[in-house]
Amino acid sequence: MAGEPAAGAGSHWVFGYGSLIYKVDFPFLQREVAEVSGWERRFWQGSHDHRGTVAAPGRVVTLVPSPGAVCKGMAYLIDESVFGHLDHREKNGYHRHEVDISLSGRGNSVAGVLYVADEGNHAFLGPAPAAEIAAHIAAASGPSGSNRDYLLQLAQALRDLDAADPHVHELAQLVRQITAPGS
């Protein structure tokens, strides 16, 4: 891994590309706008525990390999003890994956991890037409709230970061149309 070492023994960089951008329910030492290369965000992971249920899973984002792609999000420098919380939060099919994270505020990269749910996990839903994914998201809800809110909060967080993500923004537009009064 290229880049500078983590700031202090026992601390690690974690890249957030979904709800970790806007729902920061863990302590961190530093936070930076960041990017990872070779990955793109997709609503291909089932959520049985947060934005859906076992009987009716929601759809949340994961990253899929995509040569040449750049995914913008947030990086957090955390104490190693925070992994217990994050591992529990990301338990439904996600695993840690080592990556180089480019920190926008510093112009350099650091070694870090992100949570990815690949197609081999039990909750993976995979690709589908945008209209089908949007209808799924519009109908799903779980212990952490509606799947619609997850999508729209992510879309707003990406706009706030000035991050272009055609997949997320198309789904947000479709879900708004589906759930608009009188639809």
- Domains of the chain and CATH, by start: 11-179 (3.10.490.10)
Residue 1: its pLDDT value, please?
Answer: 36
Residue 182: its pLDDT value, please?
Answer: 76
Residue 6: its pLDDT value, please?
Answer: 43
Residue 4: its pLDDT value, please?
Answer: 42
So which residues are the catalytic ones?
90
Residue 106: its pLDDT value, please?
Answer: 73
Residue 35: its pLDDT value, please?
Answer: 97
103-137: pLDDT as tens digits: 986 778 999 999 999 999 999 999 999 999 999 99
Residue 183: its pLDDT value, please?
Answer: 65
Angstrom distance (rounded) from CA 54 to CA 39 = 28
Low-confidence ranges of the chain (pLDDT < 50): 1-6
Q: Name the pTM for this structure.
A: 0.91
What is the enclosing helix (H) or strand (E) of 58? Answer: strand 58-79
* Residue listed under structure tokens 């589908």: 128
Of residues 62, 38, 68, the one with CA closest to residue 120: 62
Q: What are phi and psi of 13, to 5 degrees?
A: -90, 135
Angstrom distance (rounded) from CA 114 to CA 108 = 17
Q: Which residues of 125-137 are buried (b: 16+ CB within 10 A; e: fewer)?
A: beeeeeeebbebb
Q: How many helices (H) and strands (E) does the chain have?
A: 5, 7
CB-based contacts of 124, cutoff 8 Å, min separation 6: 44, 45, 46, 62, 93, 117, 118
